[in-house]
Amino acid sequence: MRLSRYFLPVLKENPSEAQIVSHRLMLRAGMIKQASAGIYSWLPLGFKVLRKIENIVHEEQARAGHMPMLMPTIQSAELWRESGRYDAYGAEMLRFKDRHDRDMLFTPTAEELITDIFRANVSSYKDLPLTMYQIQWKFRDEIRPRFGVMRGREFLMKDGYNFDLTKEDALHAYNRHLVTYLRTYERMGLQAIPMRADSGPIGGDDTHEFLVLAETGESEVFYDSAVTDLKFGDREIDYDSVEDCAAVMEEFTDKYARTDETHDAALFEQVPEDRRRVARGIEVGQIFYFGTKYSEPLGAVVQGPDGKQVPVHMGSHGIGVSRLLGAIIEANHDENGIIWPEGVTPFHVGIVNLRQGDEATDGACEALYKALKAKGFDPLYDDRDERAGGKFAAMDLIGLPWRITVGPRGLKNGVVELTSRRTGESVELTAEAAVDRIA
Ligand code: ATP
Ligand code: MG
Ligand code: MG
Ligand code: MG
What confidence tens digit (pLDDT) does each residue in 20-31 have? 999 999 999 999
What's the rounded Cα separation, in Å, for the pair 300 and 298? Answer: 6
Alpha carbon of 342 to ligand 3 centroid (Å): 28
pLDDT at 335: 97
For residues 358, 359, 361, 362, the Cα torsion angle rounded to the nearest 10 degrees is 100
Mean pLDDT for the chain overall: 97
pLDDT above 90 for 390: yes
Q: What is the pTM of this model?
A: 0.97
pLDDT at 395: 98
Tell me the residue type at 46: G
The residue nearest atom 4 of ligand 1, judged by CA position, is 151
Q: Which ligand 1 atom sits closest to the C-alpha of 201?
A: 10
pLDDT at 428: 98
Burial class from Cβ neighbours inside 10 Å (0-12, 13-18, 19+) for residue 327 reads: buried
Alpha carbon of 157 to ligand 2 centroid (Å): 12
Tens digits of per-residue pLDDT, 345-374? 999 999 999 999 999 999 999 999 999 999
Tens digits of per-residue pLDDT, 398-436? 999 999 999 999 999 999 999 999 999 999 999 999 999
What's the rounded Cα separation, in Å, for the pair 307 and 124? Answer: 9
The strand pair at 276-291 and 313-320 is best described as antiparallel
Q: Which ligand is nearest to the CA of 283?
A: 1
pLDDT at 198: 85
Query: Where do the DSSP E strands lie in 43-199?
Result: 67-68, 74-76, 95-97, 103-106, 130-139, 154-164, 193-196
For residue 391, give the H/E element and its range: helix 388-398
Tens digits of per-residue pLDDT, 307-333? 999 999 999 999 999 999 999 999 999
DSSP 3-state assignment of 357? Answer: coil
- Report helix, strand and coil shares of the chain as percent, to nearest 5: 40, 30, 35
What's the rounded Cα separation, in Å, for the pair 297 and 82? Answer: 7
pLDDT at 201: 76
pLDDT above 80 for 123: yes
Using omega within 30 degrees of 0 as the cis cutoff, is the peptide bond preceding 129 cis? yes
On whether the CB atoms of residues 131 and 65 are closer than 8 A, the answer is yes
Task: Say yes or no: CB of residue 285 within 6 Å of ligand 1.
Answer: yes
**Cβ count within 10 A of residue 166:** 15
pLDDT at 199: 79
Burial class from Cβ neighbours inside 10 Å (0-12, 13-18, 19+) for residue 142 reads: middle
On whether the CB atoms of residues 50 and 321 are closer than 8 A, the answer is yes
Tens digits of per-residue pLDDT, 62-100? 999 999 999 999 999 999 999 999 999 999 999 999 999
ipTM at complex level: 0.99
* Confidence band of 154 (pLDDT split at 50, 70, 90): very high
On whether the CB atoms of residues 108 and 93 are closer than 8 A, the answer is yes
What are the two backbone dihedrals, phi and then psi, of residue 405, each rounded to the nearest 5 degrees? -105, 130
Q: Per-residue DSSP letters for 11-69? A: -SSPPTT--SHHHHHHHHTT-EEEEETTEEEE-HHHHHHHHHHHHHHHHHHHHTTPEE-
* Confidence band of 200 (pLDDT split at 50, 70, 90): confident
Which of 110, 161, 107 is CA-nearest to residue 138? 107
Alpha carbon of 327 to ligand 2 centroid (Å): 16
The residue nearest atom 13 of ligand 1, judged by CA position, is 318
Over residues 110-129, the mean pLDDT reads 97
pLDDT at 50: 98
pLDDT at 186: 98
Tens digits of per-residue pLDDT, 330-339? 999 999 999 9
Task: Say yes or no: CB of residue 200 within 6 Å of ligand 1.
Answer: yes
pLDDT at 233: 96
What's the rounded Cα separation, in Å, for the pair 40 and 37? Answer: 8
Choice from 177, 219, 286 to test ligand 1 binding pocket (greatest atom count within 8 A of CB): 286
